[in-house]
Amino acid sequence: MAAQRTITIAKPQVIEYRNGHSSRDEGLPLGNGHFGGMVFHPPGRLVFVLNHYDVYYRTLGMYARDKQGEVFGERDLPPFQLEKVEKDALEAKDTPGIIYNEVLHPSMRDEYGVIRTGNSHVVAGEITLQLREGADIADRTLTLDILTGTISFVIKSDDGVTRLEARVLPDRAVACLDLTISGRPWVETIDLSMPSIRGRAVRHGAGRTDNDTSWVTGAFHGDDESPEQGDASFQFVLAGQAGGWASESTVGEAQVRVSAPDKEGTFHWLTTVATEYDGPDLASLAEKRLQAIGKALPQEKDTHS
């Protein structure tokens, strides 16, 4: 018999899903403002949909970085006029649906851009924990601690307990997943994938390095770019690395499936996104970043407390 589903706010800073599945629209946020995503729990899986500032905004050339990779700019847009914004805001105060980007201060627009037009955004990839058979009838809790920016996922039964704690490191495009297993392990595989995006052509690739770093890549053109105009596609990579267990992997066209630990203990999985603004040879660059973070992991985690 399946456990009863509840959704509660246990404390003012905690959101908790207990014994229930969740969709993308019910996902919990994880990130540091530059790199992160949403976490949700469909049947048999725990999914992290991840994105990176440069990947998300690169689809709209009007406020993506310029060719030198330095400036966030706007083209063919009217100048910011404070008096007009104040007047529009007062007139619209009782009307739902005021467009937020019309009331942003110019300094915010210079750094973060403004969404005015464009097609579907590209995500930087997904991390999916495939759960073992029987997980959906075990006792499950998915929790967001808003103050610490930590997401935890616990599966508990008479056979064993698996606890996952996930956070994005501050000022770094790195997510850390700590996995603690007691008794039967409930996670079967960890998948990296590059999903297809409706309305936008994204070229995919996948692989694994000699040092056991798994990666998937994406490449696409922004709204104002095309190969016919001689524009090069924008390149990025999502990479992951296991810590504490000898993993095996299967590489597909746009996915790498990595075996999860099958024994008791505490393990970690690191994930990062690198873009062409970070430098050439993205898979190697991402691997070196993960290796450096892995060596300093205890110190990095302490910065959140």
Its sign, for the CA torsion 278, 281, 286, 287, is negative
Residue 64, domain member (yes or no): no
Which of 1-5, 33-37, 109-113 has the weakest average pLDDT? 109-113
Given this model, what pLDDT does residue 71 score? 47
Distances in Å between the alpha carbon of 41 and those of 146, 199, 302? 18, 26, 27
Residue 158 confidence (pLDDT): 93
Total domain count for the chain? 2
| Weakest mean pLDDT among 50-64, 85-99, 151-165 | 85-99
216 and 129 fall within a common domain: yes
The model's confidence at residue 182, banded by pLDDT at 50, 70 and 90, is very high
Domain of residue 40, CATH code: 2.70.98.50
204, exposed or middle or buried, with CB in 10 Å at 0-12, 13-18, 19+? Answer: middle
Check residue 126 and give its pLDDT. 94
In order, the DSSP letters of 187-249 are EEEEEEE---BTTB--EEEEEE-TTSEEEEEEEE--TT--GGGTPPPEEEEEEEEEESS---E
- Let me know the angle formed at the C-alpha of 48 by 45 and 50, rounded to the nearest 5 degrees: 155
Whether 69 is covered by a domain: the verdict is no
Query: Above 90 in pLDDT, residue 67?
Result: no
202 lies in some domain: yes
Identify the band that residue 108 occupies on the pLDDT scale cut at 50, 70 and 90: very low
Residue 71 forms part of a structural domain: no
100 with 224, same domain? Answer: no
Nearest to 130 by CA among 228, 34, 241, 257: 257
Flag whether 280 is in a domain: yes
**pLDDT attached to residue 304:** 42
Whether residues 201 and 263 share a domain: the answer is yes
Q: What is the pLDDT of residue 54?
A: 84
pLDDT at 114: 40
Q: How far apart are CA 97 and CA 220, in angstroms?
A: 32
Is the per-residue pLDDT at 64 higher than 70?
no
pLDDT value, residue 100: 41
pLDDT in tens, 259-299: 999 999 999 999 999 998 888 899 999 999 999 998 877 64
34 in any annotated domain: yes
Same domain, 239 and 123: yes
The verdict on 159 and 257 lying in the same domain is yes
Residue scoring higher pLDDT (17 or 196): 17
Strands 265-275 and 174-183: antiparallel
In a domain, 274, yes or no: yes
Q: Is residue 70 part of a domain?
A: no
Q: Are residues 91 and 194 in the same domain?
A: no
Average pLDDT over residues 117-139: 83
Q: For the residues 125-137, what does the mean pLDDT come to?
A: 93
Q: How far apart, in whole angstroms, are the C-alpha atoms of residue 298 and residue 291?
A: 13
Quick one: pLDDT at residue 185? 95
Verify that 15 and 91 share a domain, yes or no. Answer: no
Q: Are 91 and 214 in the same domain?
A: no
Residues 165 and 195 in one domain: yes
Q: Determine if the pTM surpasses 0.85.
A: no
Average of per-residue pLDDT values in the chain = 80
My answer on whether 137 and 192 are in the same domain is: yes
47 and 90 both lie in a single domain: no
Give pLDDT, residue 120.
Answer: 56
- What kind and span of H or E run contains 126? strand 125-131
Distance, in Å, from the CA atom of 43 to the CA atom of 46, rounded to the nearest integer, reads: 8
Percent of the chain with pLDDT over 70: 72
Report yes or no: 251 and 152 within 8 Å, Cβ to Cβ: no
> Which residue range is the domain that position 91 belongs to?
82-112
Looking at the structure, do residues 166 and 17 belong to the same domain, yes or no?
A: yes
